Chains A and B, each alone.
Chain A
Amino acid sequence: MIEQAVFAGLTTMAFGFLYQVRASLLWISGVIGAVAWGTSLGIHLLPGAGLLGDFAGAFVVGGLAEGAALWKKKPVTIFVVPAIISFVPGYLVYESMVAFLKNNFNGGLHFGLSAMFAAAALGLGLALATALLRPLLRPHHFLNPR
């Protein structure tokens, strides 16, 4: 599990480099990626966890990225985008693709729908982290009268 989390952290940093994020900020993205992947793996160990691991991983990414953005005074996307890549259900999409190519339509639909739901869980995790934590971390943005 620790090995996987380290790989996730390094993957996050590699994608950060690819998206032109400065090295001085990348270690933060790396830590976010590793912690989120570790959390997700931990939740996957629970019986019947399903997509809860993806949701929790995305929530951790979103929450820690909001904190990091506030700390470093940088846009949140710099921390979220590299860290969320590891959670993208690329393998499920691939399995769906291969199943369709092998004329296994049931399998293709199963994996395709699983990938869609996994993406929805990621979206929900990120959205909730933003919606819940942003007002707490930046109350002046929300309390000013229009």
Chain B
Amino acid sequence: MARLAQAYHVAPVDVVAMPTALFVAGPEGQSLVKRIQHRSVNLAVVAEINQMSRDVAKNPVPLEEFRERLNAARQLAVYPPWATVVFAAFAAGLISQLMGGRLPDVLPAALSGALTQMTRRALARTQMPGNLGDMLAALVATVPALFMARFPGFQPGSILVGGIMVLTPGLLFTTAVRDGIAGDLVSAVSRLLEALLIGGSVAAGASLPLYIYLHMGGRWP
């Protein structure tokens, strides 16, 4: 944002960006406070806005044109929604192999990942709080593992972990570390707290069906 302000000769500008709010102080007492209520992981938007700020620093386009590009970037999705379900399935199936799984676990883990992503996408369109959505998505992720647990030769743990890894708050964790190093301590702590809350929600969502299954005497190797 500082780069953009410099390109448009707006000075002095100070920006405080946090996961829950954005504060911008401009010249002559102008200020902007924007509360952030909805957050998601879309690295295409990150890349596009980075590119836009680089382009504008070199060649400042009219503000109206910049606004249009910004609005287009906000909705940017490189891949269609159905494709993210397929990617989640691939991701879950593959990561199950790094989590102690064997080849037969790939398919159930992929199914678990696909179900998780479908649930998460469906719930993201509702007014449901994000953490509750993650909890329900994790709950759905346990279904293939609980079903396969009765058959020998499968590792239900790896299947379950594959499915719920789709919900891992990797971006939050990474940016929390980077913010901490950069000295943005409030942002770092709030991102870390959000990552912990998501982790807790996922663990709670996965625990409930597993708890019921175990107490009904289900087989769990």
**Residues in B174-221 with C-beta less than 8 Å from chain A:** 174-178, 180-181, 199, 203, 206-207, 210-211, 214, 220
Interface size on A, residues (CB 8 A): 46
Please, which residues of chain A bring their CB within 8 A of the CB of B41?
19, 81
CB distance from A111 to the nearest CB of B (A): 12
Q: How far is the CA of A73 from the CA of B51 in the complex (A)?
A: 8
In the assembled complex, the Cα of A13 lies from the Cα of B126 at a distance in Å of: 29
Which one of A84, A93, A130 contacts B199 once the chains associate, using CB atoms below 8 Å? A93
Q: Contact string, A89-113, partner B, CB cutoff 8 A, digits 1/0?
A: 0110111011011100000000000
CB pair A88–B168 under 8 Å, yes or no, is: yes
Chain A residues within 8 Å of B143, by CB: none
Does B79 count as interface, using CB distance less than 8 angstroms? yes
Cα of A20 to Cα of B47 in the assembled complex, Å: 10
- Smallest distance from the beta carbon of A32 to chain B beta carbons, Å? 13
Assess whether A18 is in contact with B91, with CB atoms less than 8 Å apart.
yes
Chain B proximity mask over A73-93: 1 for CB below 8 Å, otherwise 0: 111111011101110101101
**Contacting residue for B47 out of A11, A14, A22, A82, CB 8 A:** A22
Q: Is the CB of B174 within 8 A of A11?
A: no
Of B4-12, B24-32, B64-72, B93-101, which stretch is located at the interface?
Answer: B93-101
**Beta-carbon contact of B94 and A101 below 8 Å:** no
Contact status of A98 and B157, CB under 8 A, knowing A11-B95, A81-B170, A88-B170: yes
B43 x A123 contact (CB < 8 A): no
Instruction: Convert B88-126 into 0s and 1s, putting 1 for each residue whose CB lies closer than 8 angstroms to a CB of A.
Output: 101100110111100000000000000001000000000
Other-chain contact of B94, A10, A21, A95, A126 (Cβ < 8 Å): A10
Whether B214 pairs with A102 at a CB distance below 8 angstroms is yes
* Chain B residues whose C-beta falls within 8 Å of the C-beta of A80 in the assembled complex: 174
Contact with A along B10-52 (1 / 0, CB 8 A): 0000000000000000000000000000000111111100110
When distances are taken between beta carbons in the complex, the residues of chain A under 8 Å from B90 are: 10, 14, 17
CB-CB under 8 A for A85 and B97, given A17-B79, A78-B46, A101-B214: no
Contacts A21-B44, A97-B207, A101-B207 given; does A85 touch B94 at CB 8 Å:
no
Q: Does residue A31 face the partner (Cβ distance < 8 Å to B)?
A: no
Pair B171/A86 contact, Cβ less than 8 Å: no
Are A78 and B43 interface neighbours, CB within 8 A? Answer: yes
**B78 lies within 8 A of A22 (CB):** yes
CB of A15 closer than 8 Å to a CB of B = yes
CA–CA, A21 to B77, complex, Å?
9
CB distance from A106 to the nearest CB of B (A): 18
Check if B44 sits within 8 Å of A22, measured CB to CB.
Answer: yes
Most buried by A among B42, B51, B98: B98
By the criterion CB–CB under 8 Å, are A91 and B42 in contact? Answer: no
Nearest CB in chain A to that of B97: its residue: A7
Q: Chain B: residues with CB nearer than 8 A to chain A?
A: 41-47, 50-51, 54, 76-79, 83-84, 87-88, 90-91, 94-95, 97-100, 117, 157-158, 160-161, 164-166, 168, 170-171, 173-178, 180-181, 199, 203, 206-207, 210-211, 214, 220
Q: A-side interface residues toward B, CB under 8 Å?
A: 4, 7-8, 10-11, 14-22, 25, 37, 73-78, 80-82, 84-86, 88, 90-91, 93-95, 97-98, 100-102, 119, 122-123, 126-127, 130-131
Return 9 A-B CB contacts under 8 Å, by A number. A10-B90, A14-B95, A18-B166, A20-B42, A73-B54, A86-B98, A94-B164, A97-B203, A97-B210
